[in-house]
């Protein structure tokens, strides 16, 4: 990235963006796109070293503040948000991105710790962060919330049970937020990606990189940058335009289970 990519659209560079899950994949790519636009960034995640490296990288383009916390820890979420210095405390854009699948098992033999992790992080974590940030937006009568759902928010596939349930919940929360925040002039929308090649499958398969790689073999999967590019587009529409619900597939994908793997 160079400064020519700065594209400091009028007013855009004054905004503060708060991104959860900024240490990897879609969140990190979004941080880079937002930095190129000159937005002030609050970058969140659990892996401190990655936060520090990203801060070092993006500080060349914009002001960056990092927050290390687990979104599923309610107290930690509120403590982190309350700790924001003045330059970062009026959040204009919230990207609710942190989340993962944990395991891929039939419901009858599912690992209940995995179930807890998915519901605690993907659903409750998203709610806690939102609950900490949204009141400020309501007070200022402006803001933009982007919830990262999934094709798993729209379909259920074999052994996807609880992950799909968590993302169906994100879909419902996205709709509910839009209703509840309608009178406050706050934009709320979800982006639902299909298969994106990130650390996602490595996490799902508990570090089994070989198994994770097979998910993306035989076709061109979406890259984190493809989704970040779309998020960059979404947040730079005129304020009366709200992209409310967007499903994005790689061209090779037609449904959760139909992927044209011709390159095998």
Nearest to 166 by CA among 227, 121, 228: 121
User: Which CB, 12 or 130, lies closer to ligand NDP?
Assistant: 130
Instruction: For residue 21, give the 3-state DSSP assignment.
Output: coil
Catalytic, out of 163, 216, 219, 239? 163
Q: Which of residues 125-154 bind ligand 8X3 (CB under 6 A)?
A: 150-152
Interface with ligand 8X3 includes 16 (CB under 6 A)?
A: no
- Tokens 């160079």: give the residue: 2
> What region does 55 belong to: left with phi over 0, alpha with psi -120 to 50, or beta?
alpha
Return the structure tokens found at 57.
């990288």
CA angle 242, 1, 199 (to 5 degrees): 70
Q: Which does 256 bind (CB under 5 to 8 A by kind): ligand NDP, ligand 8X3, none?
A: ligand 8X3
User: Which CB, 125 or 143, lies closer to ligand NDP?
Assistant: 125
Q: Which of residues 130-149 bind ligand NDP (CB under 6 A)?
A: 148
CB 154 within 8 A of CB 106: no
Return the structure tokens found at 164.
């799909």
Total binding residues toward ligand 8X3, as defined by CB under 6 A: 6
CB 22 within 8 A of CB 51: yes
Label the pairing between strands 144-148 and 93-96.
parallel
User: Which CB, 139 or 261, lies closer to ligand NDP?
Assistant: 261
**Shortest distance, CB of residue 118 to ligand 8X3, whole angstroms?**
11
**Shortest distance, CB of residue 238 to ligand NDP, whole angstroms?**
26
| Known active-site residue 163 | yes
What are the residues facing 95 on neighbouring strands?
Answer: 19, 146
Nearest to 199 by CA among 22, 69, 19, 1: 22
User: Which CB, 46 or 74, lies closer to ligand NDP?
Assistant: 46
What are the residues facing 197 on neighbouring strands?
Answer: 223
Interface with ligand NDP includes 165 (CB under 6 A)?
A: no
**Shortest distance, CB of residue 177 to ligand 8X3, whole angstroms?**
20
Binding flags for ligand NDP, 39-78, as an x/- string (CB under 6 A)? ------xxx--x-------------------xxx------
**Shortest distance, CB of residue 198 to ligand NDP, whole angstroms?**
3
Number of Cβ within 10 Å of residue 89's Cβ equals 16
Return the structure tokens found at 178.
């839009």
Interface with ligand NDP includes 198 (CB under 6 A)?
A: yes
What is the Cα–Cα distance from 150 to 148, expressed in whole angstroms?
A: 7
- Interface residue with ligand NDP, options 150, 161, 174, 253 (CB under 6 A): 150
**Shortest distance, CB of residue 23 to ligand 8X3, whole angstroms?**
18
CA angle 197, 257, 227 (to 5 degrees): 30
Q: Would you please indicate which residues are annotated as catalytic (active-site) residues? A: 163
Binding positions for ligand 8X3, rule: CB under 6 A: 150-152, 160, 195, 256
| Residues binding ligand NDP (CB under 6 A) | 20-27, 45-47, 50, 70-72, 97-100, 121, 125, 148, 150, 193, 195-196, 198-200, 203, 224
């Amino acid at each position: 990235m160079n400064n020519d990519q700065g594209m400091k659209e009028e007013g855009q560079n004054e905004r503060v963006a708060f991104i959860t899950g900024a240490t990897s994949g879609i969140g990190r790519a979004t941080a880079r796109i937002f930095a190129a636009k000159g937005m002030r960034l609050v970058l969140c995640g659990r892996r401190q070293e990655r936060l520090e490296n990203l801060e070092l990288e993006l500080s060349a383009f914009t002001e960056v503040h990092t927050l290390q916390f687990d979104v599923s820890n309610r107290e930690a979420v509120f403590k982190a948000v309350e700790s924001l210095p003045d330059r970062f405390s009026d959040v204009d854009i919230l990207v609710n991105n942190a989340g993962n699948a944990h395991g891929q098992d039939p419901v009858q033999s599912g690992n209940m710790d995995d179930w807890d992790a998915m519901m605690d992080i993907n659903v409750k974590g998203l709610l806690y962060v939102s609950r900490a940030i949204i009141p400020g937006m309501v007070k200022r009568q402006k803001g933009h919330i982007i919830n990262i759902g999934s094709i798993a928010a729209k379909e259920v596939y074999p052994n996807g049970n609880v992950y799909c349930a968590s993302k169906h919940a994100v879909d419902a929360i996205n709709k509910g937020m839009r209703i509840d925040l309608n009178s406050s002039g706050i934009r709320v929308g979800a982006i639902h990606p299909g298969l994106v090649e990130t650390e996602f499958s490595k996490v799902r398969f508990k570090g089994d990189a070989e198994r994770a790689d097979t998910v993306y073999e035989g076709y061109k999967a979406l890259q984190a940058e493809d989704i970040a590019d779309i998020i960059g587009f979404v947040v730079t529409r005129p304020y009366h335009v709200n992209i409310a619900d967007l499903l994005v597939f790689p061209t090779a994908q037609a449904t959760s289970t139909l992927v044209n793997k011709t390159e095998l």
